[in-house]
Amino acid sequence: MDVSRTLAQFPDLKDRAVLITGGGSGIGAALVEGFAQQGAKVAFIDIAEMESSALAERLSAQAAHPVLFQKADLRDIDAVRSAVNVVAERLGPIRVLVNNAGRDDRHEFDEVTPEYWDDNHATNLRHVFFVSQAVVPSMKAAGGGAIINMSSIAFLLNMPELPAYATAKAAIIGLTRSMAGLLGPDNIRVNCILPGMIATERQMKLWLTEEGIARMVDRQCLKQVLTPESLVGPCLFLASGAAAGMTAQSIIVDGGIF
């Protein structure tokens, strides 16, 4: 992927330490590349070692700073805290955190068990809080920062096949606003992005069909298929000083679904 041709440059992101969760593929990989092309010092956490290592190696050969990959299961809070500590030690105070990781696995309402519900929320919601909790001391020490949480429009579309996921993504908006109120006095801004239908490799393999894509594009004001790169610009903006007056906000990036 190459997002450099269409991106604005945000000079204040240069040399800034950025941490992205779920950065090994899909939207996360596009974000890792986007921040690296801004000259930021980028680290990402992912559980998939092979593709994450390959991404870090490829981008490190091109970027101003080596890209740091930390393997961790975000459901393991101790592993998450350890990964955050390593990033802060290697790159310096973390000034930007993008809580991107998530899995929109489909599940039937009648078949959801308490165990599945807890695991789904550990994958899609719980780590958003605990990664932020681990990063905030670094941001405070640096005099401020920006946290961007990834939600989804799924809960706005009344999608019946992923109730646990939709609940988690709706909760992220509430968490974003609460964290913004708490951390604002420390000059830490917390905002949220709600992607629409994004044609990632995983989505194309598991859920999206040509017919389904056509139906969704027909509902969009912008008649184009959104890709992971569609989210890079909004995320860079929210992380940068250009959004210095914005916090507790949710931005929908869905092509204008109506």
pLDDT recorded at residue 66: 98
Other CB atoms within a 10 A radius of the CB of residue 108 amount to 10
d(CA 192, CA 175): 10
Instruction: Give domain status of residue 258, yes or no.
Output: no
Catalytic residue list = 165
Identify the pLDDT of residue 138.
Answer: 95
Q: Which of 25, 34, 29, 32 is nearest to 7 (CA)?
A: 34
Q: Read off the CATH number of the domain in which 111 is found.
A: 3.40.50.720
| pLDDT value at residue 207 | 67
Q: Which long-range contacts (CB under 8 A, 24 or more apart) does 83-86 make?
A: 83/45, 84/19, 84/131, 84/134, 84/135, 84/138, 85/134
Q: Establish if 18 belongs to a structural domain.
A: yes
Q: Are 27 and 57 in contact (CB under 8 A)?
A: no
The pLDDT of residue 1 is 44
Q: What is the total count of domains within the chain?
A: 1
Tell the residue number behind the tokens 């993008």, with chain if given: 98
Q: Kindly compute the dihedral angle of the four CA atoms of residues 107, 25, 12, 230, in this order, to the nearest 10 degrees.
A: -70
Say if strands 188-195 and 250-253 run parallel, antiparallel, or are unpaired.
Answer: parallel
DSSP codes of every residue in 204-243: HHHT--HHHHHHHHHHBSS-S-B-GGGGHHHHHHHHSGGG
What is the residue range of 179's domain? Answer: 12-198+228-253
Q: What is the pLDDT of residues 91-144, one digit of tens each?
A: 999 999 999 999 999 999 999 999 999 999 999 999 999 999 999 999 999 999
Instruction: Classify 148 in phi/psi space as left (phi over 0), alpha (psi -120 to 50) or beta.
Output: beta
**Residue 202 has what pLDDT?**
78
Residue 7 lies in a domain: no
Residue 62 in domain: yes
Chain mean pLDDT for the chain: 94
Q: Full-prediction pTM beyond 0.85?
A: yes
Provide mean pLDDT across the span 39-51: 97
Q: Are strands 188-195 and 68-71 parallel, antiparallel or unpaired?
A: unpaired
Percent of the chain with pLDDT over 70: 97
Q: Cβ distance 12 to 36 under 8 Å?
A: no
Q: Does some domain include residue 112?
A: yes
CA atoms within 13 A on the CB side of 77: 11
Do the Cβ atoms of 188 and 139 come closer than 8 Å? yes
Residue 83 domain flag = yes
Euclidean distance between the first and the last CA atom of the chain, given in angstroms as a whole number: 29
Query: Given this model, what pLDDT does residue 3 score?
Result: 47
Q: How confident is the model at residue 4 (pLDDT cuts 50, 70, 90)?
A: very low
Top pLDDT among 205 and 179 is at: 179
Q: Is the predicted pLDDT of residue 194 greater than 90, yes or no?
A: yes
Q: What percent of the chain has pLDDT over 90?
A: 87
In a domain, 239, yes or no: yes
* pLDDT bucket at 23, cuts 50 / 70 / 90: very high
Q: What is the pLDDT of residue 6?
A: 62
Does residue 115 form part of some domain?
Answer: yes
Q: Per residue in 62-73, pLDDT tens? A: 999 999 999 999
At residue 141, the pLDDT reads 95
Length of the chain: 258
Give pLDDT, residue 2: 47
